[in-house]
Amino acid sequence: MTALLSIRPLTATDAATYRALRLQALRDHPEAFGASYEDEAARSLETTAKRLDGGPLNCIFGAFAGDYLVGTAGFVVPDRSTKFRHKGLLVGVHVAPAHRGKALGRRLVAAVIDHARSHVVLLQAAVGVANAPALRLYESLGFRHYGREEKALRVDGAFVDEALIVLDFAAEG
């Protein structure tokens, strides 16, 4: 029987389970994330718990199969100063391998979009140009390409170019 799947914002009480899934994501897909496994593994659980209590401009949604956290997608407004606070970032999108292909990624990103809509005008993301699953997912949810950052990441000596994509809430009909 498939455990009930649900999506909700994470809180500090989810810190240990979030940390475990996050480290798995960074170890398995170093080219997909700006953070590195080593940097994140060195962080304390308290730091992670604080991150999860960041408020509506710095939050992470989790997908649960029963009690188990199996996916995440985050939202952050990196610069809250007057001329920049209309821009948010979609970050940390990841679904555990055993739970992929079941629309969890889509539901997680949709949850971030719904949340972001009431806080920012633009929701931006950066995606490795070779990451076809993530690109297809974001494109199908309405993100459009506005650029490409060459050598955006350096992973084990190799460079990763990233596609810059955006969802413009002001342009929605």
Ligand X SMILES: CC(C)(COP(=O)(O)OP(=O)(O)OC[C@H]1O[C@@H](n2cnc3c(N)ncnc32)[C@H](O)[C@@H]1OP(=O)(O)O)[C@@H](O)C(=O)NCCC(=O)NCCS
Residue 100, interface with ligand X (CB under 6 A)? yes
Site for ligand X in 135-154 (CB under 6 A): 136-137, 140
Q: Least Å distance between CB 133 and ligand X?
A: 3
Q: Least Å distance between CB 39 and ligand X?
A: 17
Nearer to ligand X, 3 or 103 (CB): 103
H or E segment and range at residue 149: strand 144-155
Q: In what order do the strands lie in the sheet with 122-128?
A: 5-9, 58-65, 68-76, 87-95, 122-128, 158-168, 144-155
**Exposure class string for 101-116: b at 16+ Cβ within 10 A, else e:** ebebbebbbebbbebb
H or E segment and range at residue 110: helix 104-117
Q: Least Å distance between CB 75 and ligand X?
A: 14
Site for ligand X in 32-51 (CB under 6 A): 32
The binder of ligand X chosen from 19, 22, 51, 94 (CB under 6 A): 94
Site for ligand X in 53-82 (CB under 6 A): none
In terms of DSSP bridges, do strands 87-95 and 122-128 run parallel, antiparallel, or are they unpaired? parallel
* Bridge partners, 68 (sequence order): 65
Residues lying near ligand X in the complex (CB under 6 A)? 29, 32, 93-95, 100-106, 127, 131-134, 136-137, 140
